């Protein structure tokens, strides 16, 4: 894929490609280029476009990305802490969880969580991303106590922790209202909430993926309540299993509508389904993860459909791998996610991209596609912008 070096070049590239695309696709892409918010029907035209038109879709998304956020590609230095793999929910797409009696079951003691937080800071991390399974009979205030442990170990470590699933479980365990529960967690150090457990926000699809997972209504209630309490969240979508392009567009519109109400989403993260070791794939219910073309389409569509509302589109390098991540960053995405010391969840599902990417490698991959590396905080304050040449100091 050719790299456009500046706004004018990317405009010229789009102008060259549009006349070669299907007329209906060209009409919708022209509206996107002109700054119009696309409707569901227009989104569907793009989501179902033929393979020959994918380059034009990516070029328009890349142009919009350049207009909205420029040429910087951000990343956060962080560490994953997966505090337990014991879970009773049983999602068919998950290879991470296990039963309490399994030989590989683990629960990290609070001392270990504190130690990992301290080590993360020593390695330069500004964030710990804390997620785990849902064990039965958990201490009702367990999630609060994890936050206390992290903040006691490193008071200014950003706690990006849990998910709408865990928040719903926390209210069941404590009997507290969602509002009061989230407020309590915020008071004890919850800085931001990952918008995971979204998968596909369609109850029929969710029922096939996991019968015990939060419903669409529960998921949206948690994020709306978090945003009202000034707890930002991310937003996500898992694609490449049994969903259709229509589900992608519905999800973009639902997330866009929530963002119009609350402004609380920091980013959108497409999460390609990693199929290899999952029951969902093994029983023949799902396709074997997304094709490369689907990944490019989803990142480009996210940029186009969320334009003006959610400005950051992140690649999940652990799931995509390094090369496809770069291609998605040339198709509308602008953020590389985290360095992720100890990434386990995707690895156990069969992803092979690794558990940790050193900062130098992030910067090199960003420079290879002619863009500017920058370290950010979880909430997108820029900490350091690095020059294009590898051996120069931060500018
Ligand atoms: S995805 Fe989360 S909730 Fe579902 S089984 Fe795995 S650990 Fe449990």
Nearest ligand 1 atom to alpha carbon 90: 5
Q: Which residues of 213-236 are buried (b: 16+ CB within 10 A; e: fewer)?
A: bbebebbbbbbbbbbebebbbbbb
Distance set, CA 222 to CA 152, 254, 359, 360 (Å)? 26, 14, 33, 37
- Domains recognised in the chain with CATH numbers: 7-69 (no CATH), 72-385 (3.20.20.70)
Report the pLDDT value the prediction gives residue 347, as an integer from 0 to 100: 59
CB 300 less than 6 A from any atom of ligand 1? no
Report which of 218, 97, 242 is spatially closest to residue 163, judged by C-alpha positions. Answer: 218
Report the pLDDT value the prediction gives residue 395, as an integer from 0 to 100: 38
Report the pLDDT value the prediction gives residue 6, as an integer from 0 to 100: 73
Among protein residues, the one whose CA lies closest to atom 4 of ligand 1: 91
Q: Which residues of 147-178 are buried (b: 16+ CB within 10 A; e: fewer)?
A: bebbbebbeebbbbbbbbbbbbbbbebbebeb
Report the pLDDT value the prediction gives residue 353, as an integer from 0 to 100: 61
**CA gap 144, 161 in Å, rounded:** 10
Answer for the pair 45, 25: CB distance below 8 angstroms, yes or no.
yes
Q: Report how far ligand 1's centroid is from the alpha carbon of 202 (Å).
A: 17
Report the pLDDT value the prediction gives residue 392, as an integer from 0 to 100: 45
Report the pLDDT value the prediction gives residue 393, as an integer from 0 to 100: 43
| Element containing residue 229 per DSSP (H, E) | none
Q: Report how far ligand 1's centroid is from the alpha carbon of 91 (Å).
A: 6
Answer for the pair 331, 315: CB distance below 8 angstroms, yes or no.
no
The parts of the chain modelled with pLDDT lower than 70 are 1-5, 342-355, 390-395
376-391 pLDDT, tens digit per residue, is 999 999 999 998 776 5
Report which of 135, 134, 127, 184 is spatially closest to residue 161, judged by C-alpha positions. Answer: 127
Q: What is the mean pLDDT of the chain?
A: 93
Report the pLDDT value the prediction gives residue 351, as an integer from 0 to 100: 66
Q: Report how far ligand 1's centroid is from the alpha carbon of 137 (Å).
A: 16
* Strand ranges (E), the chain: 72-76, 78-82, 127-131, 158-161, 233-239, 265-272, 335-338, 372-376, 382-385
């Amino acid at each position: 894929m050719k790299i456009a070096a500046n706004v004018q070049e990317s405009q010229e590239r789009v102008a060259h490609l549009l006349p070669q695309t299907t007329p209906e696709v060209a009409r919708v892409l022209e509206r996107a280029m002109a700054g119009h918010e696309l409707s569901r029907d227009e989104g569907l035209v793009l989501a179902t476009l033929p393979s020959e038109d994918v380059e034009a879709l990516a070029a328009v998304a890349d142009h919009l990305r350049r207009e909205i956020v420029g040429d910087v590609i951000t990343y956060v230095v962080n560490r994953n802490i997966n505090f337990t793999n014991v879970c009773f929910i049983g999602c068919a797409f998950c290879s991470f969880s296990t039963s309490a009696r399994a030989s590989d079951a683990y629960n990290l003691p609070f001392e270990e969580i504190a130690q990992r937080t301290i080590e993360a800071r020593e390695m330069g991390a500004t964030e710990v991303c804390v997620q785990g399974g849902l064990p039965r009979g958990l201490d009702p205030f367990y999630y609060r106590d994890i936050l206390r442990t992290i903040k006691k170990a490193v008071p200014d470590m950003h706690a990006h922790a849990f998910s709408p699933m865990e928040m719903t479980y926390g209210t069941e365990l404590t009997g507290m209202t969602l509002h009061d529960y989230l407020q309590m967690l915020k008071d004890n150090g919850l800085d931001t909430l990952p918008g995971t457990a979204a998968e596909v926000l369609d109850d029929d699809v969710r029922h096939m993926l996991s019968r015990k997972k939060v419903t669409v209504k529960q998921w949206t209630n948690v994020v709306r309540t978090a945003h009202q309490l000034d707890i930002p969240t991310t937003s996500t979508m898992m694609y490449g299993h049994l969903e259709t392009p229509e589900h992608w567009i519905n999800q973009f519109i639902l997330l866009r509508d929530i963002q119009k109400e609350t402004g609380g989403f920091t980013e959108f993260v497409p999460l390609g389904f990693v199929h290899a070791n999952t029951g969902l794939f093994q029983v023949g219910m799902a396709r074997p993860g997304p094709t490369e073309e689907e990944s490019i389409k989803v990142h480009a569509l996210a940029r186009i459909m969320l334009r003006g509302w959610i400005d950051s589109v992140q690649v999940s390098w652990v799931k995509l791998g390094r090369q496809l991540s770069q291609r998605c960053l040339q198709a509308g995405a602008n953020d590389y996610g985290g360095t992720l010391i100890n990434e386990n969840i995707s690895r156990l599902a069969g992803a092979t991209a690794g558990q940790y990417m050193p900062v130098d490698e992030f910067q090199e991959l960003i420079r290879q596609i002619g863009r500017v590396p920058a370290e950010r905080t979880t909430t997108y304050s820029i900490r350091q912008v690095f020059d294009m040449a590898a051996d120069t100091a931060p500018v």
